[in-house]
Amino acid sequence: MNQDIRFCKTNDGARLAYARIGQGPPLVKAGTWLSHLEYDWNSPVWQPWLENWSRFHSLYRYDQRGCGLSDWNVSDFSFDPLVGDLEVIVDAARLDQFDLLGMSQGAAVAIAYTARHPERVKRLIIYGGYVRGALRRNRSPEEIEVAEMDLNLLKMRDEPGYSHVIPAYIIPDGTPEQVAWYNKLQLVSTPAENAVRLQQTFQQVDIRDLANTISIPTLVLQAKNDQAVPFEEGRITASHIPGARFITLDSRNHILLSTEPAWPHFWNEFYRFLGINIETPRENTGPSIQDRILLKLSAREREVLRLVAEGYPNAEIARKLVLSEKTIRNHVSNIYAKLQINSRGEAIVLAHKFGLVKDIS
């Protein structure tokens, strides 16, 4: 799928980049500072998320001010303009009503937007988020010192030896490839100065009063051992939104990885909340072949499977995809495990069966 990237301007003149991909009812994702609309699409961390979000929906996402393809040279990073940016995005996209997703820092923005515009948000989904920032949590002097240390580490992000700190919180169980990609994301998403200013804003957030006013259906999901946002903050978030449903995920990753058991748990709850029964046949024909593959394989894995079925050896696939041969071997192993097969011959048969390769008659 190709995404459509466009730009719009905020009330204070900042240029924002937003993207649309997929077909179906609109799903809007509130922005966070670790994002880049183009770079994320080829990510070993974000790509599986993007595929599932756009599987049944038209997914709208944007780079927050100061980040990604949006303007980096921005003077105001306070909370109200960040919420205003979401208002500008949905207006530019001409969305009347939509489902809204807030992850991590984006959760506070999504909650504040919903409180301001309850008539426009059909359903609200919060994952790994919070209603009170790190310096608003009645913390001990030691915990406050840790929050201040986080800011200092961000300031030193570009120094050798410090880039690994953020991935250690975000994806502690990530593979070397995923961690390396996340290290690079820090550099392409925003300069360290912007990251620090955004973090300072969200450390001071306290929107519990706004959360108490929300009356639309809300789903809150939180990893039990999240290393970036404490589990208790997810529980507090759910307790402040009347009627919110709370789901515990068995993970310590802030961003779930597609290979862990919590991954299908998240998506079962996500789709169920949005009224999508992925087990229900469509028009009595069953799920499409493409949908069945999407449940198991990432876009990169499908691409590797297609090339395997076309007869290319691993070395040639690595050259075509500009990846190491070791990475291709890992992808092939993952394909075997996910499709429950044991050989290249079985992979080729399934690739033809699933329509990844056109049969020549």
299-349 pLDDT, tens per residue? 788 888 888 888 889 999 988 887 888 889 988 988 888 888 888 888 888
pLDDT recorded at residue 12: 92
279 — pLDDT class (breaks 50, 70, 90) = low
Q: Measured between alpha carbons, how far is 176 from 292 in angstroms, rounded to an integer? A: 28
Q: Give yes or no: residues 11 and 105 share one domain.
A: yes
Q: Give yes or no: residues 259 and 313 share one domain.
A: no
DSSP label of 30: -
pLDDT recorded at residue 281: 34
Q: What is the mean pLDDT of residues 243-260?
A: 95
Q: Give yes or no: residues 81 and 130 share one domain.
A: yes
In order of 31, 100, 294, 295, 359, the CA distances from 106 in angstroms are: 5, 10, 26, 26, 45
Are 205 and 133 within 8 A, CB to CB? yes
DSSP label of 210: H
Is residue 283 a part of any domain in this protein?
A: no
Most confident region among 66-80, 144-158, 325-339, 342-356 by mean pLDDT: 66-80
Spatial neighbors of 159 by CB under 8 A, at least 6 apart, are none
Given a cut of 80, is residue 263 above it in pLDDT? yes
Given a cut of 80, is residue 267 above it in pLDDT? yes
Q: Measured between alpha carbons, how far is 329 from 325 in angstroms, rounded to an integer? A: 6
What's the angle, vertex CA 39, arms to CA 184 and CA 62, rounded to 5?
115
Is residue 265 a part of any domain in this protein?
A: yes
| Structure tokens that stand for 182 in this block | 């996340």
* Integer Rg of the chain from CA: 21
Q: What is the mean pLDDT of residues 191-205?
A: 93
282 — pLDDT class (breaks 50, 70, 90) = very low
Residue whose structure tokens are 């469509």: 282
Q: What confidence tens digit (pLDDT) does each residue in 7-54 have?
A: 999 989 999 999 999 999 999 999 998 899 999 988 889 988 998 999
Instruction: Show which of 273, 298, 316 is a domain's final residue.
Output: 273
Is residue 226 a part of any domain in this protein?
A: yes
Q: Give yes or no: residues 148 and 297 share one domain.
A: no
Nearest CA among 115, 95, 136, 112 for reference residue 30: 112
Q: Give yes or no: residues 112 and 258 share one domain.
A: yes
Is residue 359 a part of any domain in this protein?
A: no
pLDDT over 70 for what percent of the chain? 93
Instruction: Show which of 209, 244, 273 is a domain's final residue.
Output: 273
Instruction: Show which of 220, 238, 273 is a domain's final residue.
Output: 273
In order of 67, 218, 291, 325, 355, the CA distances from 56 in angstroms are: 27, 19, 10, 34, 20
Helix (H/G/I), strand (E/B), else coil: 175: coil
Segments in 174-284 forming alpha helices (H): 176-189, 192-203, 208-211, 231-240, 262-273
Q: Give yes or no: residues 349 and 254 share one domain.
A: no
pLDDT recorded at residue 182: 87
Q: Give yes or no: residues 110 and 220 share one domain.
A: yes
In order of 290, 304, 352, 354, 357, the CA distances from 360 in angstroms are: 20, 20, 11, 15, 9
Given a cut of 60, is residue 293 above it in pLDDT? no
Is residue 284 a part of any domain in this protein?
A: no
Q: Give yes or no: residues 317 and 205 share one domain.
A: no
CATH number for the domain that contains residue 327: 1.10.10.10
Q: Measured between alpha carbons, how far is 173 from 58 in angstroms, rounded to an integer? A: 30
Q: Measured between alpha carbons, how far is 122 from 217 in angstroms, rounded to an integer? A: 7
CATH number for the domain that contains residue 136: 3.40.50.1820
Q: Give yes or no: residues 62 and 132 share one domain.
A: yes
Q: Enter the pTM of the model.
A: 0.77
Nearest CA among 172, 104, 171 for reference residue 134: 104
Total structural domains within the chain? 2
Which residues is 58 bridged to in the sheet? 26
Give 132's Cβ-side CA count (13 Å radius).
18
Give the sheet arrangement for strand 98-103, strand by strand. Answer: 4-9, 15-21, 58-62, 26-29, 98-103, 121-127, 218-223, 245-249
pLDDT recorded at residue 165: 76
- Exposed/middle/buried for 18, CB within 10 Å: 0-12, 13-18, 19+? buried
Helix (H/G/I), strand (E/B), else coil: 227: coil
In order of 278, 296, 330, 332, the CA distances from 350 in angstroms are: 21, 13, 19, 13
Spatial neighbors of 328 by CB under 8 A, at least 6 apart, are 304, 314, 317, 318, 321
| Structure tokens that stand for 239 in this block | 């307790």
Which residues is 125 bridged to in the sheet? 101, 219
* Mean pLDDT over each residue of the chain, to the nearest integer: 88
> pLDDT higher for 31 or 295?
31
Q: Measured between alpha carbons, how far is 174 from 182 in angstroms, rounded to an integer? A: 10
Q: Measured between alpha carbons, how far is 344 from 208 in angstroms, rounded to an integer? A: 54
Is residue 48 a part of any domain in this protein?
A: yes
> pLDDT higher for 183 or 121?
121
Query: What range does the domain containing 122 cover?
Result: 4-273
Q: Give yes or no: residues 55 and 108 share one domain.
A: yes
Is residue 280 a part of any domain in this protein?
A: no
Given a cut of 80, is residue 76 above it in pLDDT? yes
Which residues is 218 bridged to in the sheet? 124
Q: Give yes or no: residues 228 and 103 share one domain.
A: yes
| Structure tokens that stand for 50 in this block | 């993007």
Q: Give yes or no: residues 63 and 133 share one domain.
A: yes
Is residue 279 a part of any domain in this protein?
A: no
